[in-house]
Structure 1
C-alpha cells in the first residue's frame, strides 16, 4: 500500500526593520499565530527595542541583524549578515517587512526562495525630491524579486501601482487580537479613567513626522479654546518628542513609551491618529476594538478600516490642522454620541479585522507559494 506523507509545516524567516510601532506588532502577532500552527519560525531583526525579547518568549528563533532605518547607511554589511542568516535558516519562505528589510532581503535572496514583501506603507511617501525618485525606482525594480507583494489595503496597492510598481499582489487587511483589545468592563473603565473632569482625547503612536502629531498639536490650540475642559494625551516615544513637547499647550501631556496601550484606548473618549501616510494604521483598529471612536486622516487604508457611514465624521484631510480642529470640536461637543460610535466601531473590527483571519490569509499565501515551488532545486544562498 502506498502511503503519502503530509507536507511539513513551512520554515518561515521574517526579516524586519523597524522593531517598534505597528510593524513590530504585526510581526509579533504573526509569529505568535504561526508558532501555534506548528510552523518553524525565525526572525532576523535589530537587537534594540522590546521585539526580540517578546519573540523569544513566543518560542521563536531570533537572529540578530543590525540594520539602520536608512536605505543606504551600512548596506554592504547588512547584506552580508542577512545572507549568513538566510544560509543558516534555509527558509521555505522569506517574509520581509517594511522598506529597509524589503530592500536588503530581496537583494540577498533575488527570487531564489519564495519571498513575500509587505511594505507597511511605501518608502517613497516618506521622502521627497531625489530620494523619492530613487525609492520609486528601487520598488519598481525590486518587485521582480517578490513572489508576492502583500498590502494591507487596496489603497496601499493603488499607491504602489500608480507609482509604477507591478507584481503579484495580495491584499490582507491588518487584524488585531480581539482577546487583548476589547472594550472595558465598567470596573476596568473606572480604574483607567480616575479623572472625568472633561473629554479625553488620546493619540497612540511613534512621535515622528509620519504620525503627524505636530498637526494635531497645532489643531489642539483651537480645541483648547472651544472645548476648554478637553485634554489631549500623546502616548509613545520617538525622535520628535522634545520638539512636540516644546510646542504643546498646557492641556497636552505626554506619557513616553508604554508597554501596553490598552488602558489608554479604554480611557479615551476619542482616539485620533493624524498620519501623513500609512498602509492601514494599526492603532485605530486597536482603539476601535477597545470600543473607542476614532478620528483619522484620509490616508491609505483609513477608509477601508472605518465602519461604513463614518467617513464623513471620522476622516479629515492629512496635514490640515484647521480641518482637524473643526472635526475634533464637532466630535467633542457635537450631536454624535461618542459612546454609540465606539460600539459601532467595536462591532466593525470584530467582524472585519480579527487577527485570526489575517494570520490564516497570510498562511494561505505561503501555502500557495510552496505548492508551486520545488524546494529541493533551489540555488543556495551564499555570502
Structure 2
C-alpha cells in the first residue's frame, strides 16, 4: 500500500521520552506526508524531541502517566488518565516505541478496538529472562510488532510470534545529512582542522566511538554499561602500547546522573586523565566532522540495535562492531569487522587489522563500500515509508 490520500488515518505515537527518540521524526513526517493526522504523546517537561516536534508543527500532548511501573495507587490513577486521553484522541492506530511505552499502551487501550503497533528500537529488554517470559503472552496484545532489526524479529519468533506479525523495518540513518563531502580537498581540510583543534597528530591513526554512557543495568549485563566502553578501553591498553601512532576519540556524555557517574568511574579506572592517547568529548551536538577525522569507528556494545554503525557507515567510515543484536547486519566482511561481544582481545586484533590496512588504502575502500551499504539498505526515508505501509496495512486488516 502506498498511502491513499482519500483514507486519512489518525495515528497516535506514544514514547516514554521527550528528550531522546529523535529517530521517530522521519516516520511521523512520512505519516503526515501521506495525509494522515498525527498526535504524539510524550512525558511532560519538554526535551529535544518535544521541541523538534513542536517546531515542525506536530500536535504534541503530555502523558498523564510517567511510564514508571512502581506499584502505587497513583500509578493506577495515571494509567486510567492515559486511557481517557487515548480514547478522547480516537486513534485508528497507536504506535509505541520503547518497552515502558509498550506496557502502558497495551494496558491503556485494552478493549477499545484500537490497533496497536509496537516498534522495537533495540533488543535489550528481551535479554531479561523475566521480560521474555512476560512477552510470550503480552506480544499477543500487539496487532503488529515492527522490529528495528532482523535479530529482534528472530527473538520474537522464539517467543511464538508468527512471521506475519513481526515485520522488519529499520530506523535507518539520514544518508543526506550523514554524508562525506564530495570534494576530497574539503574532506581533508575538515579532518586536519578537527585534529588540530583536539591536539591529535595529523598522521595519527584515529579510532572513534560515538555513544552515550549508560549505567550498568540490574537485570542484564551486570557491572558493565551496555555500550561496551569498558571493553574498548581494556582493548585499547594493549593496542595503544603496540601502536603508538594511534589515538582514541570517545564522544558521548553519561546518560543521566547515573550514566555520568559511570563515565567518571571509567575515567578513573582506566586513568584516562593521564593517557595522552585518549580524548573524551561530552558536549558534541554534531558529530559529523568527528567521523570525518577518524579512520575507523568502533561499536563494542553488549546489546544494540544498529547503533552508531549506521551513522559511521553513511559517513564512509569503516566499522568494527560486536556481534550484539543488529550490529552484524550493519557491516559485512567488505566493509568492516564483527567481533564477539565482551571480547577485548578480539577487538584489539580487529583494531590491528584496520591499522595495517590504513596505509595501503584498503581501509578507505571499506569506508566507500560502507557508504554504499547504507544507501542501499538503511536510508531512513525508505525505512519510514516501510513503517507507514505497515501501519496502513494493519488498519486495513
Normalising by the smaller structure, the TM-score range is 0.7 to 0.9
Aligned residues between the structures? 358
Hey, what does 2:142 align to over in structure 1?
146
**Unmatched runs of 5 consecutive residues or more in structure 1:** 127-131, 373-383
What is the DSSP-based 3-state SS (H/G/I as helix, E as strand, rest coil) of the residue aligned with 2:24? helix
Cα pair 1:140 1:166 within 8 Å, conserved: no
Residue in 2 that maps onto 1:318 = 341
Q: 1:29 to 1:225 in 2, by over 3 A?
A: same
What's the CA shift string for 1:42-89, capped at 9, x where partnerless?
212233531111111121112223766755477535523432431332
Tell me the equivalent position of 1:254: 280
- Residue of structure 2 aligned with 1:266, choices 289, 292, 296: 292
2:222 counterpart residue number: none
Which range moves more in the overlay, 193-202 or 221-230? 193-202
Go from structure 1 to structure 2 and tell me whether the alpha carbon gap of 1:277 and 1:147 turns closer, same or farther (over 3 Å shift): same
**What's the CA shift string for 1:245-291, capped at 9, x where partnerless?**
2234312222114322222222221111111112x314111111111
**CA 1:325–1:155: 2 relative to 1, 3 Å:** same
Q: Does 1:229 align with 2:245?
A: yes
Offset of 1:133 from its aligned partner? Answer: 3.3
Tell me how far apart the structure 2 counterparts of residues 9 and 156 of structure 1 sit (CA, whole Å).
30
Asked whether 1:201 is paired with 2:227, we answer no
Matched-pair contact (CA < 8 Å) for 1:176–1:353:
yes
- What is the match of residue 377 of structure 1? none
C-alpha distance in 1, partners of 2:146/2:313? 24
**Distance between the aligned counterparts of 1:175 and 1:80, measured in 2?**
34
Relative to structure 1, the CA distance from residue 290 to residue 67 in structure 2 (aligned partners, 3 Å threshold; closer, same or farther) is farther
Name the counterpart of 2:57.
59
In structure 2, distance between residues paired with 1:220 and 1:182: 28
Equivalent in the alignment of 2:120 = 119
RMSD (Å), alpha carbons: 2.5
2: CA distance, partners of 1:170 / 1:262: 31
Q: TM-score when scaled to structure 1?
A: 0.85
> How far is 1:188 from its partner?
4.5
Task: Please report the TM-score for the alignment, with normalisation by the length of structure 2.
Answer: 0.82
Could you say if the C-alpha distance between residues 225 and 77 of structure 1 is closer, same or farther in structure 2, counting changes exceeding 3 Å? farther
Task: Say if 1:142 and 1:174 are closer, same or farther in 2 by CA, change over 3 A.
Answer: same
1:20 Cα shift? 5.1
